[in-house]
């Protein structure tokens, strides 16, 4: 997995993960718990300002932490108050526009990932599982890295040609 996060919070213990799971009725899939065992929230480390030109803001994601800092628990409580229709949806990340990614806790689609547009107040199914979501982000970062490197090589080639052309012009 290429996916790396920065600005993560303190690593969680198994006890803290179990407490969190119990808080939401033990409905959290293992792939979600395993991810949070490694990363307790955070933001992408690879997407810098140059690479962000190649990706939709929807995928520049900030993961909320389970414990410490701005927590999923607090955001979940606020969501339950402000959006009654999202009672069984656990917000775990947001994009640059503060739209949220939600983990379904409902029996019929437990573990599915939805995208909640704050402006449109619209819920859209994005991925069949948290693992599919992470694999997608991982592949996205790999393709961005390749595209960025390819464009960087092209920039170097163009600048080399410009410098050589200027040198030849001055020399002759």
Least confident of 53-62, 71-80, 103-112: 53-62
Number of domains in the chain: 1
Contact 62, 101 (CB under 8 A): no
pLDDT (tens digit per residue) in 129-139: 999 998 988 88
pLDDT (tens digit per residue) in 17-54: 999 999 888 899 999 999 999 988 888 655 554 444 44
Beta strands in the chain (DSSP E): 5-6, 42-44, 62-63, 89-94, 100-104, 113-117, 122-127
Q: Is residue 81 part of a domain?
A: yes
Q: Is residue 154 part of a domain?
A: no
Q: Is residue 19 part of a domain?
A: yes
Which structural domain range is residue 89 located in?
5-140
**Predicted structure pTM score:** 0.75
Query: Which CATH number goes with the domain that contains 99?
Result: 3.40.1580.10
Q: Is residue 105 part of a domain?
A: yes
Beta strands in 14-66 (DSSP E): 42-44, 62-63
């Amino acid at each position: 997995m290429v996916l790396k996060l920065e600005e993560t919070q303190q690593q969680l213990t198994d006890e803290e993960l179990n407490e969190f799971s119990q808080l939401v009725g033990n409905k959290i899939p293992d792939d979600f718990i395993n991810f949070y065992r490694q990363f307790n929230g955070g933001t992408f480390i690879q997407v810098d300002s140059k690479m962000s030109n190649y990706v939709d803001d929807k995928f520049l994601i900030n993961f909320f932490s389970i414990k410490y800092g701005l927590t999923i628990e607090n955001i979940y409580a606020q969501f339950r108050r402000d959006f009654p229709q999202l009672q069984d949806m656990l917000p775990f990340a947001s994009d640059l526009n503060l739209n949220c990614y939600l983990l379904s806790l409902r029996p019929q689609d437990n573990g599915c990932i939805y995208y909640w547009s704050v402006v449109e107040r619209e819920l859209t199914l994005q991925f069949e599982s948290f693992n599919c979501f992470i694999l997608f982000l991982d592949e996205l970062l790999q393709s961005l890295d390749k595209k960025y490197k390819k464009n960087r090589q092209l920039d170097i080639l163009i600048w080399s040609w410009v410098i050589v052309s200027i040198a030849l012009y001055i020399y002759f």
